[in-house]
């Protein structure tokens, strides 16, 4: 079975497949990108902060053991 290892907002929430992302066993909210093979997660911490000059939302990248769980089913990926 060919399971995906890259999860983004475009291929999960927008098509009706919401997921929960865990990094080293801790759940991350507001995750934008998750790669289970590389162990990379990009997320926006709360409260949202905007860069002073670029006017973009500040996001953070973290590395570790990434696990993704679909909310509609009990299967885990990663």
Residue 78 pLDDT: 65
- Look at strands 26-28 and 60-63 and give their pairing: unpaired
Residue 77 pLDDT: 67
Asked if the structure places residue 1 within a domain, the reply is: no
Asked if the structure places residue 48 within a domain, the reply is: yes
Asked if the structure places residue 46 within a domain, the reply is: yes
Asked if the structure places residue 78 within a domain, the reply is: no
Chain mean pLDDT for the chain: 88
DSSP state letter for 74: S
Asked if the structure places residue 45 within a domain, the reply is: yes
Asked if the structure places residue 26 within a domain, the reply is: yes
CB within 8 Å of 48: residues ≥ 6 apart: 57, 58
User: What is the tally of structural domains in the chain?
Assistant: 1
Encode pLDDT of 11-48 as tens digits.
887 777 888 999 999 999 999 999 999 999 999 999 99
Question: The domain containing residue 61 runs over which residues?
Answer: 6-73
């Amino acid at each position: 079975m060919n399971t995906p290892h890259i999860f983004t907002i475009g291929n999960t929430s927008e098509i009706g497949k919401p997921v929960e992302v865990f990094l080293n066993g801790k759940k991350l909210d507001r995750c934008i990108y998750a790669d289970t093979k590389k162990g990379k997660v990009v997320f926006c911490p709360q409260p949202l902060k905007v860069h002073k000059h670029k006017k973009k939302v500040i996001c953070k990248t973290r590395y570790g053991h990434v696990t993704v769980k679909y909310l509609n089913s009990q299967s885990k990926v990663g």
